[in-house]
């Protein structure tokens, strides 16, 4: 009984698609900047206040490590959050993963700030901010540095518009 050859065009198409995708991925990886930063070099990165993908709370400083949070693609930011800072429940449109670099970060999930739902995350801890999932946070008696990596474009939406620290501005897409 002869073997059917009707699968050959399908196999050829799949091979071309996979090869093209792999080549595109390799090209994109090759175009990323090579990045090796010491903690001293991270400390010397330019610091800005509220920016796209941050809470907008006064006193928080943001440094862009790589990428551009407002654009499509991978980005990493550092947040330097002062002691005694509270961030109300909010969401982001992108998928984000964070690492606590210094201090103890108190982080929780939910549609409103709830001290009972906070979990203390010491340095080295990680947490996720899935797209559209409400979360909130605070610091204690010490400042915190958090590194957040996501796939932009990002933004911030507070569940309670009155809790949005940027509400005086008509733009809440930071």
- Give the span between the Cα atoms of 174 and 154, in whole angstroms: 8
- Number of domains making up the chain: 1
Is residue 125 situated within a structural domain?
yes
Query: Is a pLDDT exceeding 80 seen at residue 108?
Result: yes
Is residue 20 situated within a structural domain?
no
Is residue 76 situated within a structural domain?
yes
Is residue 26 situated within a structural domain?
no
Q: What is the pLDDT of residues 38-52, one digit of tens each?
A: 989 988 999 988 777
| Structure letter (DSSP) for residue 152 | E
* CATH code of the domain containing 131: 2.60.120.10
Nearest residue to 152 (alpha-carbon basis) of 104, 92, 89: 92
Is residue 137 situated within a structural domain?
yes
Do residues 69 and 109 lie in contact, with contact meaning Cβ atoms separated by under 8 Å?
Answer: no
Is residue 124 situated within a structural domain?
yes
Query: Is a pLDDT exceeding 70 seen at residue 144?
Result: yes
Q: What is the pTM of this model?
A: 0.77
Range of the domain at 145: 39-163
Q: What is the pLDDT of residues 72-85, one digit of tens each?
A: 999 999 999 999 99
- Give the span between the Cα atoms of 28 and 147, in whole angstroms: 23
């Amino acid at each position: 009984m002869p073997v059917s050859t009707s699968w050959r065009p399908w196999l050829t198409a799949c091979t071309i698609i996979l090869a093209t995708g792999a080549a595109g991925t390799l090209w994109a990886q090759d175009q990323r900047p090579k990045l090796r930063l010491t903690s001293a070099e991270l400390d010397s990165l330019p610091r800005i206040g509220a920016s796209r993908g941050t809470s907008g709370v006064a006193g928080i400083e943001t440094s862009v490590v790589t990428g551009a949070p407002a654009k499509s693609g991978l980005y990493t930011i550092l947040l330097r959050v002062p002691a005694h800072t509270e961030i109300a429940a909010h969401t982001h449109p992108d998928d984000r993963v964070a690492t606590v670099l210094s201090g103890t970060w108190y982080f929780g999930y939910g549609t409103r700030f709830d001290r009972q739902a906070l979990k203390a995350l010491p340095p080295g801890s990680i947490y996720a901010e899935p797209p559209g999932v409400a979360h909130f946070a605070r610091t204690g008696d010490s400042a915190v540095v958090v590194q957040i990596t996501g796939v932009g474009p990002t933004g911030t939406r507070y569940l309670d518009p009155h809790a949005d620290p940027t509400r005086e501005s008509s733009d809440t897409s930071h």
